[in-house]
């Protein structure tokens, strides 16, 4: 039976073509853990469309519950911080109330990952437009982190984010890094990052966190599986 150790449920924006593949890539050596996804419509990124996504949350969570998943993650970074502090907790509350299954969000995962690597000041690279980057910067500052730099690639249309090659994230990580940053965070679950995290950490000599890496790490921690996976950054060896 697939998922005999754990079944992870993903709630994704409908135009996301990366998160499932990156989860499965990392989990290829983790026997007994399976990934199951459902989607909420999104075809462009703006404050309004990200807020609209949440209206499909309960429907999506209920669909995943029918597959008897063990944990459900709302897999959209900007979509789980767009209303500011505690919006991720509001989303988690709705998931758990609807399904009685442990819930989390990518934003929650990233916050926990940054604490795990003892980051105080972070440099943030994103594929987002400036209006979303402003929300991201404010969120992390209000969450207690110093933001030393933030660069957004303003990739449009949104579906093109998933078409970027991993070197796009690698180069962005180099460009956004600063001497006073403890950690580089590469945001967006539709942004290919997991292939380059290990190399980027070696280049920058500091932890690199990405949305998908942190999301999977969080799910594995919640499930208390004790699975440490090498090759995808120092965070994945801290489970």
State mean pLDDT over 85-98.
97
The answer to whether residues 178 and 190 belong to one domain is yes
Which tens digits make up the pLDDT trace of 57-85? Answer: 999 999 999 999 999 999 999 999 999 99
The answer to whether residues 75 and 114 belong to one domain is no
Q: What is the mean pLDDT of the chain?
A: 97
Which tens digits make up the pLDDT trace of 124-145? Answer: 999 999 999 999 999 999 999 9
Question: Do the domain assignments include residue 1?
Answer: no
The answer to whether residues 170 and 216 belong to one domain is no
The answer to whether residues 87 and 139 belong to one domain is no
The answer to whether residues 20 and 95 belong to one domain is yes
Place of tokens 């924006």: 13
Q: Transcribe 35-84 into DSSP letters.
A: EEEEEE--SS-SHHHHHHHGGGHHHHHHHHHTTT-SEEEE--TGGGTTT-
Domain of 229? 6-107+212-237
The answer to whether residues 125 and 198 belong to one domain is yes
Taking each continuous run of H as one helix and of E as one strand, the counts in the chain are 9, 8
pLDDT above 90: residue 192: yes
Question: Do the domain assignments include residue 34?
Answer: yes
The percent of residues in the chain predicted with pLDDT above 90, rounded, is 95
pLDDT above 90: residue 228: no
Task: In whole angstroms, give the CA distance from residue 55 to residue 65.
Answer: 17
The answer to whether residues 99 and 116 belong to one domain is no
What is the pLDDT confidence band of residue 193, given thresholds at 50, 70 and 90?
very high
pLDDT for res 225: 84
Which tens digits make up the pLDDT trace of 80-89? Answer: 999 999 999 9
pTM: 0.96
State mean pLDDT over 185-192.
98
Task: Let me know the angle formed at the C-alpha of 152 by 159 and 117, rounded to the nearest 5 degrees.
Answer: 105
Q: Sign of dihedral through CA atoms 38, 44, 50, 54? A: negative
pLDDT for res 33: 96
The answer to whether residues 184 and 217 belong to one domain is no
What is the pLDDT confidence band of residue 227, given thresholds at 50, 70 and 90?
confident
Question: Do the domain assignments include residue 28?
Answer: yes
Question: Do the domain assignments include residue 60?
Answer: yes
Element (H, E) at 207: none
Looking up residue 162, the CATH number of its domain turns out to be 3.40.50.12500
Q: How many domains does the chain have?
A: 2
Place of tokens 């942004």: 191
The answer to whether residues 35 and 86 belong to one domain is yes
The answer to whether residues 117 and 100 belong to one domain is no
The answer to whether residues 82 and 144 belong to one domain is no
């Amino acid at each position: 039976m697939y998922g005999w150790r754990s079944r992870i449920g993903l709630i994704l924006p409908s135009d996301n073509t990366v998160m499932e593949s990156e989860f499965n890539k990392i989990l290829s050596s983790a026997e007994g853990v399976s990934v199951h996804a459902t989607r909420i419509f999104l075809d462009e990124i703006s404050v309004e469309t990200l807020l609209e996504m949440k209206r499909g949350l309960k429907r999506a969570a209920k669909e995943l519950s029918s597959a008897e998943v063990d944990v459900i993650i709302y897999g959209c970074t900007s979509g789980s911080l767009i209303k500011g502090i505690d919006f991720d907790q509001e989303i988690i509350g709705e998931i758990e109330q609807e399904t009685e299954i442990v819930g989390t969000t990518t934003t929650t995962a990233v916050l926990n990952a940054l604490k795990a690597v003892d980051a105080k000041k972070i440099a943030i690279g994103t594929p987002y437009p400036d209006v979303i980057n402003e929300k991201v910067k404010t969120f992390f500052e209000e969450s207690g982190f110093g933001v030393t730099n933030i660069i957004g690639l303003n990739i449009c249309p949104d579906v093109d984010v998933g078409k970027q090659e991993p070197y796009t994230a690698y180069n962005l990580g180099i460009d956004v890094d600063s001497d006073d940053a403890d950690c580089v965070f590469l945001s967006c679950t539709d942004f290919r990052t997991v292939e380059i995290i290990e190399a980027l950490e070696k280049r920058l000599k500091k932890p690199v966190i990405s949305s998908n890496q942190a999301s999977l790490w969080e799910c594995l921690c919640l499930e208390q599986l004790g699975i440490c996976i090498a090759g995808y950054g120092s965070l994945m060896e801290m489970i």
